[in-house]
Amino acid sequence: MSGSDRPQRFGDLAPSEWPGERLGLPERGQHSVTRIGRRFLAIAIDWGAALLIALLFAPYSTSAHSWAAYLIFIAMQILFIPTIGGSIGHRLTGSRVVPIAGGWVGLWRPVVRTVLLALVIPVLVWDSDQRGFHDKIAGTVLIRA
C-alpha cells in the first residue's frame, strides 16, 4: 500500500488551518468557533453570577458558599444550554452551544458537557478546532451566534 492508499488514522490528521475548519465551520463571523477571549469572559460571567446567587444561601468565604456557587454554576449550565442555547455568559458574549450533528442540543449533551466542565481538567485539553474534551465527548461546539 502506498501512503495515499492507507486509511487515515486520527493521529495522522493535519491540524486545522482555522478553528472549526474540519467541522465545516467558517473561519470568522457568525457560526465560527468561539475564540478563547469570549470563552473566558463567558465563564467569568457565569461564575460571577453563581457566586452572587450563592450569597442567598450562605455567607461569602465559607465552604457552604463555595459549594453553593459550584452547584449553582452546574445547574445553570444544565438548565440554560438546552433552553436558551448556552449559559448566560455564552449568550451575553454572543455564543451558543450546538451539537456537531445539528438540530437541538437535547438533554444529555448539556449534562455530559457540564459534568466534564465541572471537573476542570477536560476543559484544559483542546484540539486544533478549539474544542475542549468536554465538547468533544458531548458532541458539541461553541460557536458565535
| Digit-coded pLDDT (tens) for 56-69 | 999 999 999 999 99
Q: Which domain range does residue 104 map to?
A: 25-144
Give the number of other CB atoms < 10 A from CB of residue 125: 12
pLDDT at residue number 4: 52
pLDDT in tens, 91-100: 999 999 999 9
In a domain, 3, yes or no: no
In a domain, 39, yes or no: yes
In a domain, 6, yes or no: no
pLDDT at residue number 12: 63
pLDDT in tens, 1-50: 445 555 555 556 677 789 998 889 999 999 999 998 999 999 999 999 99
**Total domains present in the chain:** 1
Sequence-separated (6 or more) residues with CB below 8 Å from residue 16: 22, 128, 129
pLDDT at residue number 124: 80
